[in-house]
Structure 1
Amino acid sequence: MAEQKIYELLVNEEDARACRDIPDSACTRVPKNFVLVLLSQLLLSLGDLLTSPKTVLTWLMNVVGAPAAMVAWLVPIRESGSMLPQLLIGAWVRQYAIRKTFWIAGSIVQGSCVLAMALAVNYWTGAAAGLAIIGLLMLFSLGRGLCSVAMKDVKGKTVPKGQRGQLTGIAGTASGVLTLLVSLWLLREEPDNLLVYVVLLVAAAMLWLSAAAIFSQVQEQPGETDGGANALQQAWQNLGLLQTDKQFRQFVICRGLLLGSALVSPFLVMLAQQQHGNGQTLAWFLICTSVASALSALFWGKLADRSSRQVMIIAAALALAGCAVLAVMQMVIGELPLYSYLLLFLLLSVGHAGVRVGRKTYLLDMASGNQRTDYVSVSNTVIGVLLLVVGGISSLLAWWSLLAVLWFFAASCLAGLLYAVKLPEA
């Protein structure tokens, strides 16, 4: 079968024979499920890159003339909006033995919202277009949160331990290569041409809808459904994991401290825009994002299957280096050439990719069954709150000095690195 050949090509022989941490009855379905989950995750990763709030949506808001105050809400809404409801979503999802349906629904919601964004910016401008994008982004985030909870649980039941990091890495690398091709096309286009963004949004919407169709073919083994009778009550009970489960509590603290690896990038882009505000800047930053994903994701994925803790340590060190070097160069030199910003953005993107792969694989390997769903929902909800808190702190610091923001995130990454070293192996 084609799936078997693709699976054997992508997974090394020793891992391909293994069937760890999934039911024995699901072992024969692993090759097909691996390929289907991989394709679905690839399409979603590509869609995420093409609608990044740090780059594409920010540029789009400027093109349609939306107020700058609205632009500042893009990243917090997209990230925290998908995480905050997950405590309730996780308790709700665990009531059902088959959970791929939730992922399919979440993917359809995301694709529909992105398609609606394309229609909105095609007909509206200014504040009206900005409000439409923000409103649709809120709904988009709910779909994203649903996919996040369901994907980790379905992947945990269909992909054996030791192959999950590879799957994430392959999807990240492939999506990075495809985004690189889109970025090269964007370099040849007029960056202020609204049609370019409409085409990007429509293409991204089709990716999410196609992913939903592919994921519907996954053969998922029924899971546990105990404890899902009262979603609200169960949600509050799950918060108790932070007090009773030491390893999980350490993981959440470490993940919270490493938020700087993601949140510092918009400030770097802001500095680059202030000093090099030419029309090709967006394409160059997209190229850096795609190159970072293509070069690092597969490496991080394979390393995460050996030690996800080690991945978080190395990635945290890279993020710390990016923040600290940028802060020092701003203090000593001031205005930097564009290539300096691009190289530092590349370093931060590689570091953040490692943080993402490492913490996802660590969480998957640390838990099983309903415990995995609980861990995901609790940790994502807590991180959603922290995103708003850290975002508020960094916004206040930015009023005073962008340099202070850089040092703040450097300190956060340093603390995250030290905490990652203390984590036990998953």
Structure 2
Amino acid sequence: MSALTDLRDLFFDDEENRVCKDIPEAACRDQPRNAALHLVSMASTKIGDGLLDPKLILPWLIHAVGGPAAAVGMLVPVRESLALLPQILTSHRVRSLPKRKWVWACGSAVEAIAVALIALTLTFLGGWLAGWLTVGLLSVFALGRSLASVSHKDVLGKTISKTRRGTITGIAGSLGAAVVFAYGAALAFGLLPLERGVLLTGVAVAAGLWALAAFVFTLLTEEAGATGGGADGLRALLADGRDLWRDPQFRRFVIARALLTATALAPPYILLSAGEKGGRALGSLGAFVIASSVAAILGSTVWGTMSDRSSRKVLALSGALGAAVLAAAAAASLFLASGLWHALAPVALFVLLLAYQGVRLARKTHLVDMAPAADRSLYTAFSNTLIGIVLIVMGGFGFVADRFGAPAVLVCFAALCAASVPVALRLDEVQTA
């Protein structure tokens, strides 16, 4: 009920009950309309993410057209790292713009075009050409996502008040997850035929949703912001990076976030430990698709509302939950009968993805509320760039799995999540600052 109350207050605001802690009065008056536009744009991209899904849908399609396994293996690293690493080159240019909604809209439009071309590629081409061209187009998609990411928190911070940002993000995530759940359940239970044409239609719909999000975002009423610091990104890395890293709160935030990347990287190893292989039919992954969607539905709203109260505690709680379930998954995969562990693995995946949702929402909310208004783009770019490097390094856990097995990786990830808890608890309570 709390989330519904917060949503009602956002959309049907009145002057007596208006909450505008750190945005100007003009932006406060436009907050109900802006909240609706944020909800539509964010929910559209969340649905698009589920229909594209580089961890599930794209691998199935590449296999269906005879693409190489090496191309499948590149999908997630390309998607994640290229969405983060280029931000250091663009953040200062974004800061030079008084209105940054156009940057997000441009990034979303690039995503829409790239996804549309992926759908065409997998419709008319096959073999290694289709596989590697899809990887290349996903790289373009990730670059568009990078533009959107570096500007979104700043626009959100200028148009939606503190204590409301996590709520709107969480509700959008739940709406998107509900649609993706229905889609996954329809595939898993045969309501939609598991055919290439059906999945390609979903990818084409995703392209349309990103185009819709780009258009809707341009309708936001955004006040002009500070434009100082519009310098070259690489020079800024040398000039500003050392100063920013000396801030103990920023440093702890990045360390906690780096440790908690384990919640994002661990799901494939749970599937591997349960005997699921990436090339198997999507129908055999129905339970995992449903578990993922339910975790997103339940986690987004709950964690979003809790993050508006204490984002550092949500980070710590998510880390503890991730450590517990990963340790349990490692033990179960080693000591339980294979059939029993295969049956329990979707439950483990559900709990892990619930923790992952907490990490995602809490770290976004914490960064927006922690960073000075004029420096949100810079804080976002530096932290995302550092995490992009961490993701590349942590890709080496694949070699650990080859040498010692998936349970060894799960143990390592459990240790990383456990280590994040004391770091997160040492963060400031930024929601009450």
TM-score normalised by length of structure 2:
0.92
Q: Deviations over 1:167-222 (max 9, x none)?
A: 11101111111111111221216775211221110011111001111111001000
The alpha carbon displacement at 1:57 in A equals 1.8
The alpha carbon displacement at 1:274 in A equals 3.5
The alpha carbon displacement at 1:227 in A equals 1.3
Partners of 2:398 and 2:330 in 1: CA distance: 17
The structure-2 alpha-carbon separation of the partners of 1:122 and 1:245, relative to structure 1 and needing over 3 Å to count, comes to: same
The alpha carbon displacement at 1:418 in A equals 2.6
Partner of 2:225, secondary structure, is coil
Partners of 1:67 and 1:196 in 2: CA distance: 22
Partner of 1:210, secondary structure, is helix
2:355 is equivalent to residue 372 of structure 1 = no
Q: Counterparts in 2 of 1:99-114, with a 5 A limit? A: 99-114=100-115
Partners of 2:239 and 2:339 in 1: CA distance: 51
Q: Deviations over 1:26-71 (max 9, x none)?
A: 1111111111011111111111122222222222222222222222
The alpha carbon displacement at 1:14 in A equals 11
TM-score normalised by length of structure 1:
0.94
2:162 is equivalent to residue 161 of structure 1 = yes
Q: Counterparts in 2 of 1:62-141, with a 5 A limit? A: 62-141=63-142
Identity between Structure 1 and Structure 2 (%): 38
Partners of 2:198 and 2:364 in 1: CA distance: 33
Which is worse superposed, 267-276 or 341-350? 267-276
Q: Deviations over 1:380-413 (max 9, x none)?
A: 0000000000112x01101112121111111111
Matching residue within 195, 198, 203 for 2:197: 195
The alpha carbon displacement at 1:242 in A equals 4.2
Partners of 2:16 and 2:412 in 1: CA distance: 41
Partner of 2:30, secondary structure, is helix
The alpha carbon displacement at 1:13 in A equals 8.5
The alpha carbon displacement at 1:267 in A equals 1.6
The structure-2 alpha-carbon separation of the partners of 1:12 and 1:33, relative to structure 1 and needing over 3 Å to count, comes to: closer
> For the Cα contact (< 8 Å) 1:189–1:196, is it kept in 2?
no
The structure-2 alpha-carbon separation of the partners of 1:51 and 1:278, relative to structure 1 and needing over 3 Å to count, comes to: closer
Matching residue within 291, 295, 300 for 2:294: 291
2:418 is equivalent to residue 414 of structure 1 = yes
Aligned to 1:314: 317
Partner of 1:280, secondary structure, is helix
Aligned to 1:340: 344
Partner of 2:161, secondary structure, is coil
Matching residue within 251, 256, 275 for 1:254: 256
Aligned to 1:305: 308
Q: Which amino acid aligns with 2:395?
A: G
The structure-2 alpha-carbon separation of the partners of 1:317 and 1:13, relative to structure 1 and needing over 3 Å to count, comes to: farther
The alpha carbon displacement at 1:25 in A equals 2.4
Q: Which amino acid aligns with 2:423?
A: Y
Matching residue within 255, 280, 283 for 1:280: 283
Aligned to 2:3: none
Aligned to 2:49: 48
Partners of 2:59 and 2:412 in 1: CA distance: 23
Partners of 1:268 and 1:48 in 2: CA distance: 21
Which is worse superposed, 133-142 or 314-323? 314-323
Partners of 2:164 and 2:17 in 1: CA distance: 8
Partners of 2:281 and 2:42 in 1: CA distance: 33
> For the Cα contact (< 8 Å) 1:90–1:149, is it kept in 2?
yes
Q: Which amino acid aligns with 1:267?
A: Y
Q: Deviations over 1:216-250 (max 9, x none)?
A: 10010000011104343223323224432110011
Q: Which amino acid aligns with 1:380?
A: N
Aligned to 1:266: 268
> For the Cα contact (< 8 Å) 1:67–1:127, is it kept in 2?
yes
Aligned residues: 421
The alpha carbon displacement at 1:143 in A equals 0.4
- Structure 2 spans left out of the alignment, 5+ residues: 1-5
Aligned to 1:424: 428
> For the Cα contact (< 8 Å) 2:185–2:289, is it kept in 1?
no
Partners of 2:14 and 2:358 in 1: CA distance: 25
Aligned to 1:206: 208
Partners of 2:292 and 2:17 in 1: CA distance: 31
Q: Which amino acid aligns with 2:237?
A: A
> For the Cα contact (< 8 Å) 2:91–2:378, is it kept in 1?
yes
2:361 is equivalent to residue 357 of structure 1 = yes
> For the Cα contact (< 8 Å) 1:7–1:31, is it kept in 2?
no
Partners of 1:262 and 1:317 in 2: CA distance: 14
Which is worse superposed, 120-129 or 245-254? 120-129
- Structure 1 spans left out of the alignment, 5+ residues: none
Q: Deviations over 1:110-152 (max 9, x none)?
A: 1111111110011112211110110001110010011111110
Q: Which amino acid aligns with 1:303?
A: M
Aligned to 1:331: 334
Aligned to 1:398: 401
> For the Cα contact (< 8 Å) 1:66–1:127, is it kept in 2?
yes
CA RMSD, 1 decimal: 2.1
The alpha carbon displacement at 1:6 in A equals 7.0
> For the Cα contact (< 8 Å) 1:191–1:280, is it kept in 2?
no
2:229 is equivalent to residue 227 of structure 1 = yes
Partners of 1:309 and 1:134 in 2: CA distance: 36
> For the Cα contact (< 8 Å) 2:84–2:384, is it kept in 1?
yes
> For the Cα contact (< 8 Å) 1:6–1:35, is it kept in 2?
no
Partners of 1:15 and 1:292 in 2: CA distance: 36
